[in-house]
Amino acid sequence: MTGGDDAGSTHGRTPHQGLAPALAERVYEAVAGEEDERACEAIPDDACLDVPGNFSLNALNGAATKLAEQLASPGLVLPWMLGAVGAPSALVGLLVPVRRAGALLPQLAVAGRIRAWERRKGFWVGAGVAQALALLLMIPAILFLSPLGAGVAVVALLALFSAASGVGSVAFKDVMAKTIPRGRRGRLLGVRAAAGGVLALGAAVWLRQSVSEDDTLSPYVALLGGAAGLWLLGAAFFGAIREPKGATEGGRSALEEARAGVHLLGAEPAFRRFVLARSFLLAAQLATPFYALLAQEGAGVSAGNLAIMVGAASLASVLSSPFWGRFSDASSRKVMVAGGMWSVVTVILALSTFLLPEDAWAGNGWGLALFALVFFSSGFAEAGVRLGRKTYLVDGAPERKRPLMVAVANTAVGVMYALAAGLGFLADALGVAVVLGVLGLMALMGTLLANRLPEAETLAAEMRRSSGDGSTGEDRSSRNDPSGPSRPSG
């Protein structure tokens, strides 16, 4: 499960051999903007030579998995698939809550176990393989089971997929923190999302052509099979990353981990505000299906309109990710604030469609174009919130506390996702406009809370001081000791 090479001294070491070293260097210099002396802040010295190769492998992993997420999207593709097989709408409504909450809620239980391993990339590789198998098992479910059975099977397999995703998420952040220098992590996340977005644009074109012309289940079989293959490819890329050893002390049982998480939230007010801000900023993602409901009410449900929405969101990913990534390296807190404000503006833009005249939706009128703009803006806002909070947590969490902080934040957000399952019932009772108004207020609250956060580096320093580490931090100790700060420093 550990994998990788020994993280010994840099003396006599060669650069990463997983990719051609010269090609990896050129790619890294072009994307990360390093042409002179390489900055290796906040990673062990022995990992510095491997940065170009690890950066490239991580980016390739992101391109494969981000495209896979689009091909089997629980918010877009899977609902259409269950509709095609005739599954009950109640099961369709469970897809997004199961996908998001199922990935986040188990993380508090597994963080301590992952902590016990010096190298954690194997957990992501195993999770990627499990996600591929879950998608492949959906194929016989939709082909051979009854509509109800197919729906239940897909939801159950999605729950397994999501649990594996949760394990991979904890491992991913820790591996990135050990292999990618601070100041380059936000850029890497931007490259991953942008590459996946470019590929998803092509997938959207294919989706429009194939689904609009084929009323069988063949397109969905192709989508699920393609997504599974991409998860396996992503696992191969991630397995090739050269990960140094990390600290292993402090692993706890699930109950101990929960107690430690409650204590952490009580003892660290800045981290508590981050968790609250992230929870409220979920509005950026939660609003997307309700934008779809508005679009369907006006323009109707068709494969062509679905492809337009996917294309608009993919284009937003392509254009927004490099933009947000570079700004996130400068201040991930400000990116969260900007993404939150963008979400508020997008909600207002969507609500403005209620003012459109009926003839705006005739044919391919400008009402549909306005909703394409809504989905583009929504994708832009969501990318900013996502990149900002990921970079903030990785940069602001000391190495010793990072797995616990990731697990606590994700578990708290998982609870919020579970509660958000009631938004659909609220929409049925009071209307989509009321739900979007509530989500707009949530985004505004999240923006205000994010604006009150310290910068990530300040958060890390405060948490080191509160834990009794008087040194300049985990950066110094981990750079001098490849196994991580296994003893108090300073």
- What confidence score (pLDDT) does residue 480 get? 39
Structure tokens at 73: 């999207």
Segments of the chain with pLDDT less than 70: 1-50, 89-90, 92-93, 106-109, 111-118, 182-183, 185, 210-215, 244-258, 296, 298-304, 306, 356-365, 403, 466-490
- What confidence score (pLDDT) does residue 261 get? 73
Amino acid at 338: A
pLDDT digits (tens, 9 = 90+) for 76-118: 778 777 777 877 766 766 777 788 888 777 666 676 666 666 6
- What confidence score (pLDDT) does residue 483 get? 36
What pTM was computed for the model? 0.69
- What confidence score (pLDDT) does residue 49 get? 64
Amino acid at 192: R
- Interatomic CA distance for residues 246 and 43, integer angstroms: 10
∠ Cα 41 44 47 (to 5°) = 100
Strand segments (E) across 89-163: none
Q: Identify the CA nearest to 189 among candidates 26, 391, 385.
A: 391
- What confidence score (pLDDT) does residue 444 get? 96
- What confidence score (pLDDT) does residue 223 get? 84
Question: What does the radius of gyration of the chain's CA atoms come to, in whole angstroms?
Answer: 22
Q: Mind listing the domains of the chain with CATH numbers? A: 47-466 (1.20.1250.20)
